[in-house]
Structure 1
Amino acid sequence: MYLDVRSDWLSYVDEVPRALVATNTVANLKALEQSPRHAHQKAQLVFTLRGIINCEVEDAVWVVPPQCAVWIPGGLPHTVFGSGVVECISLFIEPPEAPSLPDKCCTITVSGLLRHLLMRANEMPERYDVDGPDGRIVSVIFDELAVAPIEDLRLPIPSDPRLKKLTDLLIAAPADRASVAEWASRVALSERSLSRMLAEEVGMSFGRWRRQLHVVLALRHLSTGQTVQAVAMDLGYESASGFVTMFRKMVGKPPARYLSERPGPAPRDHDGG
């Protein structure tokens, strides 16, 4: 089953009379790339076990490395795609049963306890006994989700056509170190107009927005086993140390440490910190 993209499965999940429905999914990049934009009544938590999951909503792309999860509120149109072979658990949650959970799309860190609870939920009967042990596990899952740390693994996508074109140009050539004025001229804007529009639409300066893009791209590549050195060069940094400094400032940890705390391939370059 490909995540949650089959219309018959979506309808079925929404009709299951339980606060939580869990599914385990293994899929490849091609299958997930074919995922159409869709929505469902229940909220969804996608927990990545292996590989990188990306969730795209109208105004942002969320990157979900191993040991993280993305929360998608009910009714929010989205599409989900992966980088390489991925394995994940999807939990479909009835919002009224969990009023303390997020009301916006976000990426959260999954603790060791929450990971075990999610794995246990994946083994529960679909129509579990809400008054028995399984029902109590669901309650604990909701409690843990309500206090789970949120990570800023989001790339805001502007709505203005010129800024969308700029986004495409930056993604196509992440190593291009052109100045803000040069990037602005490529989409027929002045540097001042570009800075003002980015501040209004994504709440970031051009420099921070581009660094956020580099973090998203770096996580995708590092989680497949690429070296820190190779990723740094691909993103246009003069040295691995310069890239590591940027990553640490944006994420709070150097890339090797960040990924070593998660299951799956870690970067193979000692320069990762």
Structure 2
Amino acid sequence: MLAEIRSPDPSNLEWIERSRSAVIAIPGDYPDGHTVLRHQHGKAQLLHALTGVVMVSTAEGRWMVPPDHAMWIPAGEEHSVEMLGFVRMRSAYISPDVHDGLPTGLCVLAMTDLMRSLIIEAVDIKEADASDERGRAVMDLILLEIPRMPIRPFGLPFPADARLARLCRAFVVSPTPRATIDDWAREAGMSRRSFTRAFLAETGLSLSMWRQQATLFAALPRLAEGVSITELALDLGYESAPAFTTMFRRMLGASPRDYLRRRSGDGRSDQA
């Protein structure tokens, strides 16, 4: 099946730009492999996938948005979106500077039960007018709940340095926890100290943290597809399922089984 690549729906972009409401909400269901080309909008976007995994790419790097999470995309940030698996997307668009405490940069946020319910309800409302007291209350609650959503480490920035970028791309294609800093430094033709400093400066992360996040990039879509934890752990180079589970729990605060058990959501199949 060929991946479907499309520009954003111009009618949606026009509505997003035209609306004077502090919060509006739009649904969208997309097949596996669908890609929305790079675009931007004048409102910040809280992008939530009820099902499937979404990959958001910007000039700063790539962010993974699995179920039970949302991506905060600031107003004016150019980005593209790739769907991994069938994705039921529900997004809220927020006018800049409407509420204190909203995120200022790109980040992945853990959904709360309240926010999940609010964003599903907001999609039905779409845009609350002045006479819709209940609708305005739902939208106001969204603004109050966003600052309460925990930030999750799903960003995967790529270094600009060609030597480091080559190593990072190879790791994403075939993740393994066995390669050491010395191995990476030697392949890059750098001393361990120079490599460590350069990698942190280029990505904002230590190599250890970057590789853990890259491993999650590889693991979560396959978990969502039903691959067993043991098979996945071995494929990713871990010696055992418990070793993989320890890394997973450290990154997400839950075991793979508990993470999958918590996955739930509702929404209608309206096309955006």
| TM-score bracket relative to the smaller structure | 0.7 to 0.9
Cα RMSD, aligned residues only: 2.2
Specify the alignment match of 1:22 in structure 2.
Answer: 25
Specify the alignment match of 2:221 in structure 1.
Answer: 220
Does 2:227 correspond to 1:240?
A: no
Does the CA-based 8 Å contact 1:175-1:233 persist in structure 2? no
Distance 1:189 1:8 in 2: 51
Taking a change above 3 Å as real, the CA distance of residues 36 and 130 of structure 1, as seen in their structure-2 partners, is farther
Does the CA-based 8 Å contact 1:3-1:25 persist in structure 2? no
Distance 1:233 1:165 in 2: 24
Unpaired runs of 5+ in structure 2?
Answer: 266-272
Distance 2:85 2:156 in 1: 20
Structure number with the bigger relative contact order (C-alpha 8 A, sep ≥ 6) is 2
Specify the alignment match of 2:93 in structure 1.
Answer: 92
Report the secondary structure of 2:33's partner residue.
Answer: helix
Specify the alignment match of 2:268 in structure 1.
Answer: none
Does the CA-based 8 Å contact 1:22-1:122 persist in structure 2? yes
Cα offset, 1:38, TM superposition: 1.6
Distance 1:208 1:39 in 2: 29
Cα offset, 1:3, TM superposition: 9.5
Cα offset, 1:130, TM superposition: 6.2
Unpaired runs of 5+ in structure 1?
Answer: 265-273
Task: For residues 106-130 of structure 1, give each alpha carbon's deviation from its aligned partner in whole angstroms, at most 9, with x where no partner exists.
Answer: 1112222211111110001545336
Cα offset, 1:17, TM superposition: 2.0
Distance 1:179 1:58 in 2: 28
Task: For residues 179-204 of structure 1, give each alpha carbon's deviation from its aligned partner in whole angstroms, at most 9, with x where no partner exists.
Answer: 32333333333333221111222233
Taking a change above 3 Å as real, the CA distance of residues 204 and 125 of structure 1, as seen in their structure-2 partners, is closer
Specify the alignment match of 1:48 in structure 2.
Answer: 49
Distance 1:112 1:246 in 2: 25
Specify the alignment match of 1:171 in structure 2.
Answer: 172
Specify the alignment match of 2:255 in structure 1.
Answer: 254
Does 2:16 correspond to 1:13?
A: yes
Specify the alignment match of 1:201 in structure 2.
Answer: 202
Taking a change above 3 Å as real, the CA distance of residues 67 and 59 of structure 1, as seen in their structure-2 partners, is same
Report the secondary structure of 1:76's partner residue.
Answer: coil
What amino acid is the match of 1:145?
A: I
Specify the alignment match of 1:101 in structure 2.
Answer: 102
Cα offset, 1:260, TM superposition: 1.4
Q: After alignment, is 75-84 or 176-185 more displaced?
A: 176-185
Taking a change above 3 Å as real, the CA distance of residues 24 and 131 of structure 1, as seen in their structure-2 partners, is closer
Specify the alignment match of 1:210 in structure 2.
Answer: 211
Distance 1:259 1:184 in 2: 36
Question: Alignment identity in percent?
Answer: 33
Distance 1:111 1:127 in 2: 22
Task: For residues 242-266 of structure 1, give each alpha carbon's deviation from its aligned partner in whole angstroms, at most 9, with x where no partner exists.
Answer: 11111122222221112211228xx
Cα offset, 1:29, TM superposition: 2.6
Q: After alignment, is 4-13 or 161-170 more displaced?
A: 4-13
Distance 1:62 1:99 in 2: 24
Cα offset, 1:7, TM superposition: 4.3
Aligned length: 261
Cα offset, 1:131, TM superposition: 5.7
Q: After alignment, is 19-28 or 147-156 more displaced?
A: 147-156
Cα offset, 1:98, TM superposition: 2.6
